[in-house]
Amino acid sequence: MPSKESFALEKLYRDWVAEMSANPGAGVDELRKLFDHWGDVTAEPGGVDYLETEAGSVPAMWAVPKGALTNKVLLCSHGGGYVVGSMYTHRKLFGHIAKAVGCRALIVHYGRAPENLHPGPVNDMVKAYRWLLETQGFKSGDVAFTGDSAGGALAVTTMAAAREQGLPLPAASMPMSPWAGADTSGESYDTNAQRDALVSRATSGGLGSLFLGEKGDLKDPLANPLYTDYRGMPPIYIQVGEAETLLDDSRRMAERAKQAGVDIKIDLFQDMQHVFHFLAGAAPEADDAIRRMAQWVRPKLGIA
């Protein structure tokens, strides 16, 4: 049975869906204001400082846990369908993860759609990665990627884009509830339609269209991780809620990576909603998931 604390995220999502349904003409600015409260359910991690910076001309924020290693880093991509969400909505979530791993996190505020259409977001993430490697003294083996939802997709597609641009791949990647964009072919869109409080075919299709633009290709391997070339990629650890409509996005990504010979791990969390990790510090399921992420990635980064 899910903890009583875990229902806080479901309530938040259902309230948002009700508000969006009551105002179907709401524009992007209104949606962004609504999702500015995404991090409200996340507890402050405590002992984490935040410092805004620019990573290769892209706005970003350092999350620096007290006593954190300075020679290892998490490169973090926030979710929100490439349209909403920000480094501010996600700072506490990534602060919790950085604190559990024991290193700094760089949370990238990539340009969002529709102002910054694909491949804008993935190119911004590559710029930030290049900045870490070429100006901040990190080696590729010192870096792990992580992100949620659209940011979970970026935790994979950024590796593919970096490889195309001649950059070495990071030590590992940890997508949380990754999203295949406007591709809504997964069966879980039907089987979990009544259980998922936030994501539906309509929301995925709408946000995906804003991200790709009129001439976009929903099977573009840098936009949809179901079509990314996984050959030669580092270890990947996917976490996803079992109640999500996006469940099959994660399952199919994992299968594609496995077929390519990647060291892939996937954990399904019973009855959990989309990016339940937002309940970090407030629900045991989220804290357990982040603990598992930290245990998995620390040896990949060479952290004892």
What residues are annotated to the active site? Answer: 149, 244, 274
Give the SS3 label for residue 16: helix
Distance from C-alpha of 223 to C-alpha of 125, rounded to nearest angstrom:
13
What are the residues whose beta carbons fall under 8 Å from the beta carbon of 236, sequence distance 6 or more?
156, 172, 173, 174, 175, 254, 257, 262, 263, 264, 265
- Specify whether the CB–CB gap between 133 and 125 falls below 8 A: no
- Amino acid symbol at 74: L
In this structure, the strands spanning 103-108 and 172-176 are unpaired
Is the four-CA dihedral 142, 263, 212, 220 of positive or negative sign?
positive
- Comparing C-alpha atoms, which of 42, 64, 68 is closest to residue 53? 64
